[in-house]
Every structure is written in structure tokens, then in C-alpha cells.
Structure 1
């Protein structure tokens, strides 16, 4: 058996793993978004209660929690969006050149994105270290927990972008811009087709 099909088979296996990791991350990002909505709703309700009844009720922890939930949703959801090629990008050059050149332009774009993600991982690790010495004002938790969400999202962004780099090098890309459910069904069909 030649090395080419084995590489593609390993790549497809890693794609399946990354599909399940990103599916879990997508659910986490959704939960963070839901948590943010609930926390901000509590904060707004407390303000309205104070305004209309005069009851001295405030929930500064809810605003802070909502802010931290938004950070988790943005970083983890952004990594999932990168995997599904849903991030905003300028593809005027890619669409104007022949396919063999467009492939290399996509590869350069993925490598630049990977470089930025690695820089963000490095910076977030430094922030985590500093975050253990800093506490949030309302909830009084170490800020390292918030920075850890940034680190998780950026590590996932690195892994997802690396998958795109390898996919372009193996000429298995680009992946279609589709719903995650549609993308999952396509990958399942390809996985079943390879076994036969």
C-alpha cells in the first residue's frame, strides 16, 4: 500500500476526532451563550425591581458572570467557526486565480491564522499566570479562570487550523461552508464509503 492513501486515511480519522471535539465545543459555546443571557436577564430584572419598587437589590455578579460567559462563547465558538470555515474572510484573490494557485493562497492564509492562534495561546498562558494574582471585583474569583477560557479556545483554534493546513497539503481541502449538521452527514458518508 502506498503512503498517499494511508496519509489520507489517517487524516480522515483525525477529521472524525476533530468533528466530535468541535461538536462538544459547539455545545459548550452554546451553553456559555445561554448562561450569558440568563446572567444578564437576572441583572436587568434586579435593576427593574429596584427602579419600580425601591427594593435595594443589585446583582453586580450577574453582569460580571455574563461578561465571562461571553468571553468563553466568543473564543470557543470562534474556534468552532474556524473549523467550519465560517469566519469572515476576503476571498477576492482566491476566487480570481486558478485552483492550483488558490490552494496555496488558502494554505498561506491558514498558516498565518495558525501563527496568530499560537501567539494567542502563548499570551493567554502568560495571562493565566498573572490571573492567579488578580481577583474579579464582584465574584471574587481568580481571573486565571477567565483567561483559561481564552487559552482553551485558542488551543482549539490551533488544532482546527492545523487540520486545514494538513488538508490543503494533502489536497483534501477546502471544506465546504455548510451547516455543522450537513458537514457531519457528508463526513459520515465519506467515512462509510471508505470502508467498502
Structure 2
């Protein structure tokens, strides 16, 4: 299990690079659009569309990376008032439910990509299957990271540090 977790973490390093590239490209395109419009009264016709597609990809990748570090927003009212062992079981159940949702999203995302292959985007004139690929890519990353979190919860039967257990009591 440790090797699988390390492999997932290596893949996440690549996802971080892709996320940085996506956010950087989106920022450059938006800034260029604003500068061109304000100073030169000219617009880039495809800037808004490309930025929208990159934002969707960024959200999926960012969510998967946040899932891996368990940094997503959560309501933990119940989890705060139980022992570490019970909290661990509760988290495993929650992540298994999330895993089912992410796997469903992956399957449906692949179907959607197949359905929109013949359409072209309005401004960029690319096949719509290209921007819609963000769904299966993001869902795959979410599935992968949910599996890593579940594996870590199974491996670490005791709190990583004693302060974590004392907070519960």
C-alpha cells in the first residue's frame, strides 16, 4: 500500500505542474485581454472561452490535490466529538462514498466526451471533447487521491501525533 501511495504522490507532483500551467496561462490570457481592451481598444475573441475552460480544469485539479491533503471544507461536528478510532472509521466511510461519486463522475464524463466530439467551440473552434476532457481527467485524479487517503486511514490505526488524540478527548 505504501508503494501505491508514493506512486499517487508522484503523479500529484505532475498534477501540480499542470495546475500551475493552467492557472498561469489563464492569468496571462486575462491580463492580456484587459490590457489590449483598455489601451488598444482591441479584444481577443477567444480569451474568455479559453479562460473558462482552464478554470474548469483548475477546479478539478485543485479539488483533487486538496482531497489528497484532506484540506477540503467539511462539516466535522460529529467527528470532533468522537475518539480517533471511530473518527477513522467515519472518514473511511465518507471517503468510500466520495469514491463512488467520483467513479460515477468518471464514467459519465467519458460518455459526455464521446457525445460532444462532433461539436466545435464557438471562439476557439476546437472540438468540444477537448475542454470536456477536464471531467474525466479531474475525476481520475479525484478517484486516485480518494484511494490514497483511504489507504492512509487504513494504515495509520493510531493518531500520527499524541496531540491529535488528546484534542478528541
Q: Same fold (TM over 0.5)?
A: yes
- Runs (4+) of structure 1 exceeding 4 A deviation are 172-176
The residue number in structure 2 matching 1:85 is: 70
**Under a length normalisation based on structure 2, what TM-score does the superposition of the two structures give?**
0.87
Measured after TM superposition, the shift of residue 50 of structure 1 is 4.6
Partner of 1:40: 30
CA RMSD of aligned residues (A): 1.9
Alignment match, 1:30: 20
Contact preservation (8 Å) 1:103, 1:168: yes
Q: Equivalent residue for 2:164?
A: none
**Deviation digits for residues 126-180 of structure 1, max 9, x if unmatched?**
110122121110000011111112211110110110122233233458789xxxx
CA contact (8 A) 1:164 1:173 kept: no
Q: Which residue matches 1:5? A: none
**C-alpha distance in 2, partners of 1:175/1:120?**
32
1:72 paired residue number: 57
- Structure 1: tracts of 5 or more residues without a match: 1-10, 52-56, 177-196
| Residue matched to 2:165 | none
* 1:61-140 aligned within 5 A: 61-140=46-125
Which runs of no fewer than 5 residues in structure 2 stay unpaired? 162-169
2:112 and 2:80 map into 1 onto residues whose CA distance is 39
- TM-score when normalising by structure 1: 0.76
Relative CO higher for 1 or 2, CA cutoff 8 Å, sep ≥ 6?
2
The whole-number CA distance in structure 1 between the counterparts of 2:47 and 2:159 is 42
CA distance in 1, matches of 2:75, 2:108: 26
Give 2:154's aligned residue. 169
Given candidates 7, 16, 36, the residue that maps to 2:6 is 16
Q: Is the 8 A contact 2:85 2:158 kept in 1?
A: no
- Computing the radius of gyration from Cα coordinates, the structure with the larger value is 1
Distance 1:37 1:26 in 2: 16
